[in-house]
Structure formats: C-alpha cells, structure tokens
Amino acid sequence: MNILLDTHIAIWAIGNHPSLSQKARALISDPDNTIYFSSVSVWEVLLKHDSPKNNLTLSPKEFVEYCEESGYYQLHLSAKHVLTAASLDISKVDKEHRDPFDRLLLSQAKAENYSFLTHDARLPLYNEKCTIMV
C-alpha cells in the first residue's frame, strides 16, 4: 500500500514521538507499504518553524533529511493535485478549519490513489475513503 503521511504524523514518526499510535507505527514500519511525505508538508514545517506561536524547532531542511533517512519518498505537488482539491466535499467541514495544507495533502492522496494517514479528527469530514485515522 502507498501511504502519504499527514505533516504531524511524519513529524511524530521521524521523532519517535509517543503520540504516534501503535496502528500508525505498524502501518509505517510494514515493509509492504511505501511511505511518502509531501512537499506541502515541507512548506507547512517552514511556516510552523518560523511562527512564534509554534514551538517547532525542526527546520524544513531537517524535516526532509529525517524523512529521507527514514526511507520515505517525497511526493511533489502538481497541478493534478491542486485540481483534485476542487473535488473534495467541504460541505461538512467547518469554514474556519478549511486548512489549505490539509486540503492539498488529502487531494494528493486522492489523486495518486494513496492512503492518507492522519490523526486530525476533522479530516474524515471530507468523507474521502483514502483517509486512515490513527
């Protein structure tokens, strides 16, 4: 199975964070699965790293290096991914939440027919069958 990691899942996985569930660990470590991180996540890490409201000390460069060291493949954002975002059902998603990072990551997974691994309880509201809650 091809799995795209949500940004927080990727951060937890590369840092062996205790918040990463056993289910997520099992899916990520399964040798039959191919794990991807997105260039969208690199941008999100940059913004969180630079924001005084966040305490993310991980730089975007470190994020990429650690993901690659973990054997994850980078999925680059394409026009196909952006256009797929238009097909997402946002009707049940709180207008304040319509996070562009979540929408792009989810649309990448949908467009590539990958599973999308997340812990964000709001993402199932998009009702995309590619979402795996962990």
Q: What is the pLDDT of residues 92-131, one digit of tens each?
A: 887 666 788 999 999 999 999 999 999 998 888 888 999 9
In whole angstroms, give the CA distance from residue 72 to residue 59: 17
For 2, the 3-state DSSP assignment is: strand
pTM over 0.85: yes
Backbone angles phi and psi of 17, in degrees to 5: -70, 140
Q: Do residues 116 and 130 make contact, with C-beta atoms less than 8 angstroms apart?
A: yes
pLDDT digits (tens, 9 = 90+) for 20-59: 999 999 999 999 999 999 999 999 999 999 988 888 899 9
DSSP state at residue 94: -
Band (79; pLDDT cuts 50, 70, 90): very high
CATH number for 64: 3.40.50.1010
Task: Report the domain count for the chain.
Answer: 1
Q: Which domain holds residue 36?
A: 2-133
pLDDT score of 97: 63
Q: Residue 4: count other Cβ atoms within 10 Å of its Cβ.
A: 28
